[in-house]
């Protein structure tokens, strides 16, 4: 703005806003736009308009997701209600077992709800924590008897357990619970408060907390495992269809798309599905045929995702590799493949869907 009176500055500001509005209207109408003679300010305005459009699209998508899930159907609200009810039961039961250690039951109830959605996932996580705690109590009793009054030895073993606890956390929740409980037994030895009854009480409180969590997940606003896996299966199929369509469009000569982000979204959706099927594929599950089916479906989807990424990688080479040329005939082949993927997704959503597979 020039150095002038406030009124004159408002005039110049209005002229600038009008010019920017005209540029935005021109962009929205998709008229002829020759950007070769744009000044730096005009180019910057174009970038700002593109950024605003992207922000508006993200906000609209977020609002649409919020509109779909409201009230008790929203995952965060449902989880909060479940944790509140489960914690109430854990506090009441934990107080009956011990007036001093009741928080162990509440802590277990909280933990089984972290990064879990369906009842099956909560059941598996609660079982793993209980198993790790039992094995840790046995190890803690053995280590406490072996260490005796050797303080520095016990201290070194505690550090080893802490290291192993964090190292195994991403690998196995059972091992993490094992090292936590073993370290607890050694800490009680260092503090001269060790007793076998305390470690046995930890097993009882852990079992109570896990039972409260599983019971609450099964009774209060439950999310069945098959419903959760079906939703994630549809998500994987949708991401696979989008990646395939975008890659073939690029190989057919259409404008380039961001295939890397779409491939990452497909991988993330597949990872979520793999995690959700763990209750179905657990070694001790009694439903053997269902376990084999879940493993087979996940393996098929991993193979499809591999070929989808390979197709996207080939499409990414199109601009720079002279041996790869665009071929419009690919669209006809891809339309059938994408249609079949969408038909399968429709049947997963609604078993009575009328969508048919094309051969």
What are the pLDDT digits (tens) for 93-129?
999 999 989 999 999 999 999 988 889 889 999 999 9
Same-domain pairing of 182 and 235: no
The pLDDT assigned to 127 comes to 92
Dump pLDDT digits (tens) for 300-349.
Answer: 999 999 999 999 998 888 777 777 777 777 888 888 999 999 999 999 99
In a domain, 42, yes or no: no
Last-in-domain residue among 191, 219, 247 = 219
- Residue closest to 298 by CA, chosen among 265, 326, 269: 269
In a domain, 14, yes or no: no
Same-domain pairing of 112 and 160: yes
Same-domain pairing of 210 and 229: no
Same-domain pairing of 82 and 212: yes
Same-domain pairing of 150 and 230: no
In a domain, 11, yes or no: no
Last-in-domain residue among 184, 219, 254 = 219
The pLDDT assigned to 182 comes to 92
Same-domain pairing of 254 and 148: no
Q: State residue 108 phi and psi, 5-degree precision.
A: -65, -40
User: Are the CB atoms for 120 and 291 separated by under 8 Å?
Assistant: no
In a domain, 232, yes or no: yes
Last-in-domain residue among 194, 219, 244 = 219
In a domain, 253, yes or no: yes
In a domain, 331, yes or no: yes
Same-domain pairing of 138 and 261: no
Burial of 35 per CB tally in 10 Å (0-12, 13-18, 19+):
exposed
As given in the structure block, the two tokens for residue 89 are 């039961």
As given in the structure block, the two tokens for residue 316 are 């990414």
Same-domain pairing of 256 and 239: yes
The stretch 192-198 carries a mean pLDDT of 84
249: domain range? Answer: 225-349
The pLDDT assigned to 286 comes to 80
pLDDT at 223 over 70: yes
Same-domain pairing of 79 and 215: yes
Dump pLDDT digits (tens) for 233-271.
Answer: 999 999 999 999 999 888 887 777 788 899 999 999 999
pLDDT at 291 over 60: yes
**Separation between Cα atoms, residue 47 and residue 299, nearest integer Å:** 43
Same-domain pairing of 315 and 301: yes
In a domain, 1, yes or no: no
Helix residue ranges, H only, the chain: 6-28, 40-68, 75-97, 103-112, 119-147, 151-168, 173-190, 196-219, 225-251, 259-276, 278-281, 288-316, 330-349
**Separation between Cα atoms, residue 93 and residue 108, nearest integer Å:** 13
Return the half-sphere exposure (C-beta side, CA atoms, 13 A cut-off) of residue 61. Answer: 6
* Number of domains within the chain: 2
Same-domain pairing of 215 and 79: yes
In a domain, 7, yes or no: no
């Amino acid at each position: 703005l020039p150095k002038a009176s406030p009124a004159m500055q408002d005039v110049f500001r209005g002229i600038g806003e009008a010019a920017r509005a005209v540029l935005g209207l021109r962009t929205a109408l998709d008229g002829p736009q020759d950007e070769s003679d744009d000044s730096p300010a005009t180019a910057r305005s174009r970038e700002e308009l593109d950024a605003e459009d992207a922000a508006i699209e993200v906000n609209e998508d977020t609002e649409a997701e919020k509109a779909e899930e409201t009230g008790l159907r929203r995952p965060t609200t449902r989880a909060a209600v479940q944790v509140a009810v489960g914690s109430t039961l854990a506090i009441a039961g934990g107080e009956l077992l011990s007036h001093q250690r009741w928080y162990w039951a509440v802590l277990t109830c909280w933990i089984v709800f972290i990064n879990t959605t369906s009842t099956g996932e909560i059941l598996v996580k609660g079982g793993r924590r209980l198993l790790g705690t039992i094995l840790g109590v046995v190890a803690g009793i053995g280590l406490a008897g072996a260490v005796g009054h050797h303080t520095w030895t016990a201290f070194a073993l505690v550090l080893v357990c802490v290291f192993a606890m964090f190292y195994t956390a991403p690998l196995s929740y059972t091992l993490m619970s094992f090292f936590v409980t073993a370290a607890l037994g050694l800490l009680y030895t260092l503090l001269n408060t060790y007793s076998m009854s305390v470690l046995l009480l930890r097993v009882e409180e852990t079992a109570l907390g896990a039972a409260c969590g599983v019971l609450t997940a099964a009774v209060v606003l439950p999310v069945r495992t098959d419903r959760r896996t079906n939703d994630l299966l549809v998500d994987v199929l949708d991401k696979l269809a989008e990646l395939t369509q975008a890659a073939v469009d690029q190989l057919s000569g259409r404008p380039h798309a961001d295939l890397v982000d779409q491939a990452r979204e497909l991988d993330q959706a597949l990872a979520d599905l793999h995690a959700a099927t763990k209750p179905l594929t657990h070694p001790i599950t009694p439903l053997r045929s269902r376990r084999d089916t879940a493993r087979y479906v996940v393996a098929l989807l991993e193979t499809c995702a591999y070929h989808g990424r390979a197709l996207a990688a080939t499409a990414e080479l199109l601009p720079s590799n002279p041996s790869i040329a665009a071929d419009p005939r690919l669209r006809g082949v891809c339309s059938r493949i994408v249609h079949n993927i969408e038909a399968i997704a429709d049947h997963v959503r609604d078993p009575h869907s009328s969508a048919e597979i094309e051969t």
